[in-house]
Amino acid sequence: VPPSMKRVQDLQLFAARKSSLISRPPPPISYTLEPVEGEARAMKFRAFFRHVGEGSVDPGVCAHPISTRGGSFNLELLEDGSICTELISPRPRETASAIAVKLMARFDDPNPPGIDACVLM
């Protein structure tokens, strides 16, 4: 294959992968947003996430904060099985959706290897 055709094939493969990422169905996690009352900031919200899957939530899901959209969000597992976090964002729905995507990965693997497993020695 000539080099120019190889580049075209690589670009087509990249575009196909990118479109498959964009067209993924939403994660099976629903959320609700509530403004935090008594806060001077109008952009502070409490987000409640509920996993649509069956069974109880593994506490390991909430063991570490979720990092997304430039922030780090501590997670709290509530008695009713929902997960709560507080966020400050001018676009709280987009932030909550990004957290939901990361939470879905946590449900798939609640206790991923730590940073030490990624270090080359």
Q: Beta-carbon neighbour count of residue 76 at 10 Å?
A: 12
Which tens digits make up the pLDDT trace of 40-89?
A: 566 899 999 988 666 677 888 888 899 888 889 999 999 888 999 999 88
Average pLDDT, the chain: 76
Cβ distance 102 to 66 under 8 Å? yes
pLDDT at site 40: 58
What's the pLDDT band for 2 if we cut at 50, 70, 90? low
CB 86 within 8 A of CB 95: no
